[in-house]
A and B are shown apart, each in its own frame.
Chain A
Amino acid sequence: MGALEASVDRASLFEFALRMGDNTLILGHRVSEWCGHSPVLEEDIALANTALDLIGQTQMWLGLGGEIEGKGRTADSLAYLRDAAAFRNLLLVERPNGDFGQTLMRQFLFDAWHLDMLKALERSADSRVAEIAAKAGREVAYHLERSSDLVIRLGDGTDESHRRMQAALDDLWPYTGEMFLADAVDAAMAEAGIAPDPASLKPHWQAVIGEVMGEATLTVPDSGYSHKGGKRGVHTEHLGYILADLQFLQRAYPGAKW
């Protein structure tokens, strides 16, 4: 471990752990907003389960982040006591839930990337990263199975469900490009063998998307434009409201134990 830590800049590794953990935290938050409000009881159960997995993964990634940083911050203090500009999640996961189709499409586009990312991380040179990835990967394989199945069934369902799913895809598409853009942190991670080069995940992701959308009778947009900024802390207006909810008690009663 010592040799490895010497070979990679600690700040980059910390940053990488935040990116993983903030994605799962913010998406888990969004998914949990559906609790008790979904279209059918089985979906209430499935969504709570997905959110639960994502929050569990958040505890692992942010826990690792705190450990790497070495300043005594825990998963909780990282989740509850940073402001928006210090969050590193993709803009995609902070998109509002919209209708149930938008929620499912967001989940599918993320799951397809997430699973490939975790599979690559299972081979990470950092054993802590590999361990988290292996555990999370088993859960995310199931998330992808479920979200792709529903996207197919709704895309190829009624005219209305088709229309809604296509609208969701068109709406969210410009937020997918950010997943594959690399910066200095990603370059350092790839160099050290800790994480894959984000661009390397794109061909397989595109193949999965192409296959599922084909079966779903949906059209993949040809726009290549990407919104970006989440990975370096420049977010949409939505994140501030998510944090206002998420962090309320910790902010209103500093130092209390819960």
Chain B
Amino acid sequence: MYAQMVKTDAKGVKTLEEMSPEERAFQERVDRGEKIEPKEWMPEGYRKTLVRQIGQHAHSEIVGQLPEGNWITRAPTLERKAILLAKVQDEAGHGLYLYCAAETLGVSRDELMEKLHNGSMKYSSIFNYPTLNWADIGAVGWLVDGAAIMNQVPLQRTSFGPYSRAMIRICKEESFHQRQGYDIMMKMAKGTPEQRAMAQDALNRFWYPSLMMFGPSDKDSVHSAQSIAWKIKINTNDELRQKFVDQTVPQAEYLGLTIPDDNLRWNEEKGGYDFSEPDWSEFFEVIAGNGPCNKERLGARVKAWEDGAWFREGLMAHAEKHGKRQAA
């Protein structure tokens, strides 16, 4: 997940006949389900697209620490605090694996950070929404991690070896997070009237932004067709969104909460729910930097990086002196 609208530089998906011999051999390996490893030949577009996608995913993990970190100091019990700390720690760890996976494609973590900080790379739109009450921490686990899993489970089969292996590891932890999020929602939904109201409020605010996480419909997108051919995208955005809604509606019913969509109803014929599209103009505003928390989120990351410069330089200087002394 966490990757939205990743461009491929493609103008159209080439047929095997249109490809150079190298491209064709590569595509045939991908079609056979072989993994591509970092030192092997790959089309430049494949490499660039993967850097964008993995980089955006990594950035989402680290920016994603912020909305949840917002409640660590206010978590309502010691156990909830410990669970939340462990979760946010996992997310930083996911960021680390993903930056490492991107490094195998020849781009350093510092270069990617620079692009995050100067706004030329994005992170998932969802993290530009605020966490306003404790149930939001439940909703983030249940809905946001739930949507992430929907996207990441198929990506375990992605064609690029390091990305696939990172996804396998990440998915295990994400499903644990989702269960923890649902557990918070359960406590809130079965709690006092105030807690129940918080739970409903969290669902109301996070529902559509969660649907936006899959990105706008890409059934006619050249970029998506190319990514699917390369197996760095496995399903279309609409397929994943439908799957997410079908999975989540019964969970909301079990909680006794109402999904904020009057058009939501079971469609026997398609074997899935009909539901309202999110407001895509809001999505594009958020992507353009006008979401409720864009400035705070990116500002917090830039501040952390700038305030920490002396720390990183100090460690480098020590390593250099130490190395010199050892050499002398």
Contact = CB atoms under 8 A, between A and B. Distances in A.
Interface in B77-125: 77-82, 85-86, 88-89, 92-93, 95-96, 99, 109
16 contacts: A35-B72, A39-B307, A40-B308, A44-B65, A49-B89, A52-B82, A55-B81, A59-B78, A59-B82, A99-B307, A156-B318, A157-B314, A160-B310, A249-B76, A250-B76, A256-B76
B300 A37 contact: yes
Interface of B: 62, 65-66, 69, 72-82, 85-86, 88-89, 92-93, 95-96, 99, 109, 134, 184, 187, 191-192, 194-195, 300, 303-305, 307-319, 321
A45 B92 contact: yes
Contacts, number: 148
A154 B312 CA distance: 9
Contacts of A35: 65, 69, 72, 85, 88
B310 A36 contact: no
A48 interface: yes
Interface in A28-55: 29, 32-33, 35-45, 48-49, 51-52, 55
Contact of B134 (A99, A101, A154, A249): A249
Interface in A171-205: none
Interface string A37-81: 111111111001101100110110010000000000001100110
B66 to A, nearest CB: 5
Contacts of A39: 304-305, 307-309, 311-312
B315 A153 contact: yes
B317 A58 contact: no
Contacts of A56: 82
Contacts of B92: 36, 41, 44-45, 48
A183 to B, nearest CB: 27
Given A36-B65, A256-B191, A258-B187, A45 B76 contact: no
A243 B80 CA distance: 16
A162 to B, nearest CB: 8
Interface string A220-258: 000000000000000000000000011011100101111
Given A32-B72, A36-B300, A256-B191, A52 B89 contact: yes
